[in-house]
Amino acid sequence: MTQPDRLRITEIFYSLQGEAASIGYPTVFVRLTGCPLRCQYCDTAYAFQGGEWMAIADIISKINSFAACYVCVTGGEPLAQKSCINLLTKLCELDFKVSLETSGAIDIAAVDPRVSTVMDIKTPGSGEVSKNLMTNLEKLDANDQLKFVICSRSDYEWAKDLLQARQLNKRCSVIFSPSFEQVSAKELAEWVLDDRLQVRVQVQLHKILWGDAQGR
């Protein structure tokens, strides 16, 4: 079996999408193993290592078993495995509605344009702001989403400055999300309203429903 035909997988599971544009939809999550970042708020550190090698054909067979329309490829950092690009394209060819959750630390140029890229750009409070590949911002379009996880008021100001300087909400949808137990959703909502920002404030639905668990 050649490397482009397989991926190291932490888990494949069926749940409700907890964030981004398809929030609330039943979705199959394909969590790839490995990540070059260590964000302080990460809730999937169990995906940093381990996992099981699976052929792309077997991954797709598992996805099909759930009879869902939406598939989210996530991590870890899914693009850290080069074969992720092949999986994304094959899923699009099968007419799934595909999203990719990525940190933006790895070039997204090769991602199939039919995929909705959800880029979690790193704020200073993440501890990994230096890993941002800012040229990725120019590759986002109306099909994509840019997410800022806000850990503090200073994170909010940093995100607001970047948003306005680059007019990011004219390029794609922009989401401001409070870091769990660091900034309250109410507080973040008030900051956005006070500043008249054209962004979506979004909380993590799966954490409201199931706490720290990723899904039911």
pLDDT confidence of residue 1: 42
pLDDT confidence of residue 2: 44
Residue range 149-184, pLDDT digits in tens? 999 999 999 999 999 999 999 999 999 999 988 999
- What CATH class has 3-210? alpha beta
- Cβ count near 82 (within 10 Å): 12
* Residue ranges per structural domain of the chain: 3-210
pTM: 0.93
Residues of the chain with pLDDT under 50: 1-2, 216
DSSP 166-180: HTGGGTSEEEEEEPT
Q: Which residues contact 109 (CB under 8 A, 6 or more apart)?
A: 139
pLDDT confidence of residue 215: 52
pLDDT confidence of residue 214: 54
